[in-house]
Structure 1
Amino acid sequence: MSKKLSIGILLVILVVLLGVNFGQYLTIENAKAQQEVLTQYISNHFFTAALIYFIAYIAVAAFSIPGAAVVTLLAAALFGFWYSLVLVSFASAIGATLAFLSSRYLLRDWVQGKFGDKLSAINKGIERDGSFYLFTLRLIPVFPFFLINLLMGLTPIKTTRFYLVSQLGMLPGTAVYLNAGTQLSQITSLSGIVSPAVLGSFALLGLFPFIAKWVMSKLKLGPSTPNGNVS
Structure 2
Amino acid sequence: MSAQAPPESRWRQVRRWLPLILLVGLSVAVLVSGAAHLLSLDRLLASRAWLKAFVGEGYGRAMVVAFLVYLGAVIVSVPATLFLTMVCGFLFGIVPGALLAVCAATTGGSLVFSIGRGPGRDLLQRFGGPRLDRFAASFRRDAFGYIATFRVLPLFPFWVTNLAPAACGVRLRTFVAATFLGLLPGALVYATTGAGIEDVVAAHETARAACLAEGGTGCDDAIALSALVTPKMVAGLGSLGVFGLVTLILSRRMRRRV
TM-score band w.r.t. shorter chain: 0.5 to 0.7
Q: SS at the partner of 1:182?
A: helix
Pair 1:99 & 2:112 matched = yes
Q: Which residue of 2 aligns with 1:108?
A: 120
Q: Which residue of 1 aligns with 2:47?
A: 34
Q: SS at the partner of 2:184?
A: helix
- Against the structure 1 CA distance between its residues 100 and 34, is the aligned structure 2 distance closer, same or farther, given a 3 Å change threshold? same
Offset, 1:61: 1.2
Pair 1:202 & 2:247 matched = yes
Offset, 1:41: 2.1
Q: Which of residues 48, 51, 59 in structure 1 aligns to 2:61?
A: 48
Consecutive unaligned residues of structure 2, counting only runs of 5 or more, are 1-28, 202-227, 229-235
Q: Percent identity?
A: 23
- Against the structure 1 CA distance between its residues 198 and 121, is the aligned structure 2 distance closer, same or farther, given a 3 Å change threshold? farther
Offset, 1:111: 7.4
Q: Which residue of 2 aligns with 1:76?
A: 89
Offset, 1:109: 8.1
- Against the structure 1 CA distance between its residues 61 and 111, is the aligned structure 2 distance closer, same or farther, given a 3 Å change threshold? farther
Higher mean alpha-carbon deviation, 196-205 vs 84-93, is at 196-205
Matched-pair contact (CA < 8 Å) for 2:143–2:174: no
CA distance in 2, matches of 1:149, 1:133: 12
Offset, 1:22: 2.4
- Give the counterpart letter for 1:152 in structure 2: P
Matched-pair contact (CA < 8 Å) for 2:140–2:168: no
- Give the counterpart letter for 1:142 in structure 2: L
Pair 1:139 & 2:152 matched = yes
Offset, 1:54: 0.8
Pair 1:170 & 2:183 matched = yes
Within 5 Å, give how 1:155-194 maps onto structure 2: 155-185=168-198, 186=200
Offset, 1:183: 1.5
Offset, 1:128: 5.0
Over alpha carbons, which structure has the higher Rg? 2
Offset, 1:94: 0.6
- Give the counterpart letter for 1:42 in structure 2: V
Q: Which residue of 1 aligns with 2:20?
A: none
Matched-pair contact (CA < 8 Å) for 1:142–1:199: no
Offset, 1:95: 0.6
Q: Which residue of 2 aligns with 1:22?
A: 35
Q: Which residue of 2 aligns with 1:9?
A: none
- Against the structure 1 CA distance between its residues 43 and 207, is the aligned structure 2 distance closer, same or farther, given a 3 Å change threshold? farther
Q: SS at the partner of 1:71?
A: helix
Matched-pair contact (CA < 8 Å) for 2:114–2:166: yes
CA distance in 1, matches of 2:196, 2:74: 23
Q: SS at the partner of 2:47?
A: helix
Q: Which of residues 113, 129, 143 in structure 2 aligns to 1:130?
A: 143
Deviations 1:75-106 (A, max 9, x none): 1111111211221111111111111112113x
Q: Which residue of 2 aligns with 1:12?
A: none
- Give the counterpart letter for 1:108 in structure 2: G
Consecutive unaligned residues of structure 1, counting only runs of 5 or more, are 1-15, 210-225, 227-231
Deviations 1:41-87 (A, max 9, x none): 21121011111111121111122112122111111111111211221
CA distance in 1, matches of 2:167, 2:173: 15
- Give the counterpart letter for 1:199 in structure 2: G
- Against the structure 1 CA distance between its residues 109 and 205, is the aligned structure 2 distance closer, same or farther, given a 3 Å change threshold? closer
CA distance in 1, matches of 2:134, 2:92: 39
CA distance in 2, matches of 1:99, 1:138: 15
- Give the counterpart letter for 2:41 in structure 1: I
